[in-house]
Amino acid sequence: MQQQTIHIKQAEKKIWSLLANITDPEVPVLTILDLGIVRSVEITDTGIDIVITPTYSGCPAMDMIATNIRMELLAAGYEKISVKNILSPAWTTEWMTQAGKEKLKAYGIAPPSDKQQVCSSGLFSPNEAIQCPQCNSYHTQRISEFGSTACKALYQCIDCREPFDYFKCH
Amino acid sequence: MNSPITNKATDQLINQSTDQLINFLLSLADSNLILAQRNGEWCGHGPVLEQDIAITNITLDILGQGRNFYQYAAELISQSSGEPATEDSLAYFRTEREFKNLLLCELPKGDWAQSVLRQFFYSIYTKGLYTQLLNSKDDRIAAIAEKSLKEVNYHVRWSSEWIIRMGDGTEESNQRLKNALKYLWPFTGEMFIPADFEKDNGVDLSLVKNEWQKNVQNVFEEATIATPDINMVMQSGGKQGIHTEYMGFILAEMQYLQRTYPNAEW
């Protein structure tokens, strides 16, 4: 019995490593594991159950991510794959891995702050101190709380003048 | 052992409560979808690029929230009626009288003041409503509410800041906000007139109303705008499928492609 459990754990580990090959279609430097949207992987008598959660309700990438998971596992010889979308607990940027944050920065997108500052509902809240991914200056300003995708805000560096996306806290 | 009559009565009661749950989900989904369709008219037409992106981002959020409610409703309809329903069939193949959205959501987008004020009223309303739904006995509704609330908080802040900016801004912006308020206010009361499907699903709209009134008033005060009487005679009917003259035009545009070329895909 114990041996069987170990066997299943190892098989699940194999699936996790395959999932690490799948990237976010909108931010291709991030894998879905970096984003923290894969909530569980389970091997059951009937097949493989994978649970994912969306970053935002309207995230258009979710259907594609679910399809890509299926394709990746089919290509590796797996069958009877179920990809389920759950909403609770709601995704938060706190689930993003440290490696993911570093990749984002190298890609030119400011990663979410470790300490969430603007998730309060206070009006006209002061700009969050976001570091410019180009020149590392904290002398930056928010242009808009909404950016090119649901998960980003628009910032500009006052020192190097470069506009950049900030993966906003959520 | 139960008599057959009692069994039948119980079945009927279960059917009724499922129907009311479906109606409730459809009303939530429809309001989000129709408002998303209206706000979508701003795409490429916003006053400046950043605000064009902001309102379309908000629109994407509420469209996603609507989809979550439609998907749940579609599953229940498929199970209880045996006729397969999908989120798409519910959005594209129902008629005007079957839509249960708030009248507020179907009104024309008007100018920026009108669209932002509507978003403000709606976001504060959904914030109160979804907060209550966090405690829903239905886990799936509670989960959608939990997810949606994180997004709605952003919408409330964005629209509140705009109300203050316009009300306490120039003579022109102040006047436009007042015009929008005069037009939209009679459509706000409908949010708090409970339909049977809301009562049956444990929603207490009087609590939502109190909270809404307080929050709207706070922002209006800062915007130097007087809050109109909330107990005046209000327009209603959307929840029962009785819509304004605008609704047919929205559906004609939104549903045209699917009705002409059923199951067409991108």
Closest of B243, B197, B234 to residue B99, by C-alpha: B243
- Evaluate the omega torsion of the peptide bond into residue A89 and state whether it is cis, within 30 degrees of 0: yes
- pLDDT (0 to 100) of residue A5: 73
Inter-chain touch A56–B68, beta carbons under 8 Å: no
One domain for residues A108 and A119: yes
- pLDDT (0 to 100) of residue B118: 98
| Preferred mutation among A37, A57, A121, A170 to probe B, highest tally of B CBs within 10 A | A57
CATH number for A24: 3.30.300.130
B214 touches chain A (CB under 8 A): no
Inter-chain touch B65–A86, beta carbons under 8 Å: no
One domain for residues A9 and A79: yes
Structure tokens belonging to residue B125: 């309303």
As a whole number of Å, the end-to-end CA separation of chain A is 42
Domain count of the fold of chain A: 2
Closest of A48, A55, A51 to residue A81, by C-alpha: A48
Cα separation of B76 and B90, whole Å?
12
**Residue B148 with chain A: CB contacts under 8 Å:** 57
Predicted-complex ipTM score: 0.87
Residue B136 lies in a domain: yes
Q: Which of B4-13, B111-120, B222-231 has the lowest mean pLDDT?
A: B4-13
One domain for residues A44 and A109: no
Domain count of the fold of chain B: 1
Q: Which of A13-27, B10-24, B188-202 has the lowest mean pLDDT?
A: B10-24
Model confidence pLDDT, tens digit, residues B124-156: 999 999 999 999 999 999 999 999 999 999 999
Is the model's pLDDT at B9 over the cut of 90? no
Of A91, A116, A135, which residue sits at a domain end? A91
Residue B253 three-state SS: helix
Determine the structural domain holding residue A119 and report its residue range: 94-167
Residue B265 lies in a domain: no
One domain for residues A117 and A83: no
One domain for residues A99 and A62: no
| Preferred mutation among B37, B57, B60 to probe A, highest tally of A CBs within 10 A | B57
pTM of the model: 0.92
Inter-chain touch A145–B54, beta carbons under 8 Å: yes
One domain for residues A39 and A58: yes
Q: Kindly state the DSSP code that residue A31 receives in the 8-state scheme.
A: B
Residue B176 zone, left/alpha/beta (φ > 0; ψ -120 to 50; rest): alpha
- pLDDT (0 to 100) of residue A122: 72
Inter-chain touch B53–A58, beta carbons under 8 Å: no
Residue B163 lies in a domain: yes
One domain for residues A63 and A99: no
C-alpha torsion B74→B43→A130→B153, nearest 10:
-40
Residue B252 lies in a domain: yes
Q: Which residue has the higher pLDDT, A19 or A125?
A: A19
One domain for residues A85 and A74: yes
A147 touches chain B (CB under 8 A): yes
Closest of A33, A116, A39, A123 to residue B143, by C-alpha: A39
Is the model's pLDDT at A1 over the cut of 60? no
B52 touches chain A (CB under 8 A): no
Confidence bin at B4 (pLDDT 50/70/90): very low
- pLDDT (0 to 100) of residue B266: 76
Determine the structural domain holding residue B232 and report its residue range: 4-236+243-260
Strand positions, DSSP E, chain A: 38-43, 48-52, 81-85, 109-110, 140-144, 152-157, 163-167
**Residue A121 with chain B: CB contacts under 8 Å:** 153, 156-157
One domain for residues A35 and A99: no
B63 touches chain A (CB under 8 A): yes
Of A44, A65, A91, which residue sits at a domain end? A91
B53 touches chain A (CB under 8 A): yes
Of A91, A120, A152, which residue sits at a domain end? A91
- pLDDT (0 to 100) of residue A2: 65
One domain for residues A86 and A20: yes
C-alpha torsion B133→B138→B144→B149, nearest 10:
20
The residue-averaged pLDDT of B171-187 equals: 98
Q: CB–CB of A73/A48 below 8 Å?
A: yes
Residue B266 lies in a domain: no
